[in-house]
Amino acid sequence: MKKSIAILGSTGSIGSTLLDILKKDKNKINILLLTANKDYINLLKQAQKHNVKNLIITNKRSYEILKNKTKKLKINVYNNFDFLEKIFKKKIDYVMSSISGLDGLVPTLRIIKFTKKIAIANKESIICAWNLIKKEINKNKTIFIPVDSEHFSIWYAIKNISINKIEKIYLTASGGPLLNLSEKKFRNVSVHQALKHPNWKMGKKISIDSSTLMNKVFEVIEAKHIFNIPYKKITILIHPSSYVHALIKFNNGLIKIIAHDTTMRVPIFNTYYVNNEKLLTSNHLNIEKLNNLQLSEVNQKKFPLTKILNKLPNKNSLYETVIVVANDALVHFFLEKKIKYDEISEILTKLIVHKEFSKYKKIQPKKIEDIISVKNHVSSLIDKLCI
């Protein structure tokens, strides 16, 4: 029997990679839904190549163009996620949620009840709304698998192991393109310099977050939420080659090190072929990299945003949304050359202790509208404070 699947954010790097992985099993799968924001050209190509009958494209102009282009085709085109009930007549086998940013929050939450398994690559959903996601997952008995290489590595390493047996989790960070740059030169870092990641090809926003190590701060929050482990048991280590993705130290003295090639194909492949019914072709063990791991502690003077972890509440709160939204805005200002590179960390550090924002530490999101409301409020205030 064919497996039924859906991909949210299919034109992005995660979605496109998954489609490429699945192409050899084209006759064994039925892709019921693909979605995008603006890229109607690639979305239509994907639909025609994989015989997909349902598309969602959220940008209004792109929707109108795509709707017109599919008039004579047997393809249903929708402009939002209100039509999931119409698309899915019964639970499907697998969903990949890879819409970037907070735009992925509502679709991720809404689609959980329609699938037996969901792989989530949208970090903002996990950071801001984990308590809501977990509630939906438990309610609908949906299997959840994290997609980020670090979190997938941890998930894979601790399957069937009690969290109580974990002494420490180490997440690795390459240090990005500025690892060996003097602190004194950070103020004059150009957009081009900050985007030039040595190991990964990523979008502009996540590339900047990687250069400031904010991306790793987000991943620590994700790990804390997903694995229900306190912040004090999670540490960031610099690892320039990005070959090791996580280390787990157990309280029996043993240490597990999860390493794989510097490619997202490995975790993406394994979220779908989780029981290893299919083999992934990969490189041989890289002994040179293993012999030169160069693990080191984070220099917090160079990467001050990692200090944010000391300010986070123990429970999932709306404060995480404040941090995500504030960082998004500042990265955007930097990319637009409205602020200097080191002002991202300077301004963000000041903003999150602002009384208007710190009050959210004690408030847990009860519904999706709470997060959206805070997002709008914070965005408005940051525009007033920074421009």
- How do residues 185-208 score in pLDDT, each as one tens digit? 888 899 999 998 877 777 888 899
Q: What is the DSSP string of 98-111?
A: ---SGGGHHHHHHH
CB-CB neighbours of 116 under 10 Å: 15
Q: Of the given ranges (132-146, 156-170, 197-211), which has the lowest mean pLDDT?
A: 197-211
Q: Output the pLDDT for position 386.
A: 64
Q: Output the pLDDT for position 355.
A: 85
Going edge to edge, which strands form the sheet with 143-146? 76-78, 54-57, 29-36, 3-8, 94-97, 117-120, 143-146
Rounded Cα distance, 12 and 35, in Å: 10
Q: Output the pLDDT for position 354.
A: 84
Q: Output the pLDDT for position 200.
A: 73
The band of 130, judged by pLDDT with boundaries at 50, 70 and 90, is very high
Whether domain 313-387 has CATH 1.10.1740.10: yes
The band of 280, judged by pLDDT with boundaries at 50, 70 and 90, is confident
C-alpha 67: how far from its chain's center?
Answer: 30
Average pLDDT over the chain, rounded to an integer: 93
User: Quick one: which of 97, 101, 67, 63 has its CA closest to 80?
Assistant: 63
> Which CATH number applies to 3-147?
3.40.50.720
- Averaged pLDDT for residues 229-252: 96
- For the chain, which residues make up each domain, given as ranges? 3-147, 149-299, 313-387
Buried (b) or exposed (e) across 289-308, using 16+ Cβ within 10 A?
Answer: beeebeeeebeeebbbbbeb
User: Quick one: which of 122, 105, 107, 98 has its CA closest to 365?
Assistant: 105
With a cut of 60, say whether residue 387 has pLDDT above it: no
Q: Which amino acid is at 358?
A: S
Q: Output the pLDDT for position 283.
A: 85
pLDDT (tens digit, 9 = 90+) per residue, 47-90? Answer: 999 999 999 999 999 999 999 999 989 999 999 999 999 999 99
pLDDT (tens digit, 9 = 90+) per residue, 303-357? Answer: 999 999 998 998 899 999 999 999 999 999 999 999 999 999 999 998 888 888 8
Rounded Cα distance, 202 and 211, in Å: 12
The band of 143, judged by pLDDT with boundaries at 50, 70 and 90, is very high
Please give the model's pTM, rounded to 2 decimal places.
0.94
Q: Output the pLDDT for position 385.
A: 67
With a cut of 60, say whether residue 263 has pLDDT above it: yes
Q: Of the given ranges (69-83, 270-284, 303-317, 358-372), which has the lowest mean pLDDT?
A: 270-284
The band of 282, judged by pLDDT with boundaries at 50, 70 and 90, is confident
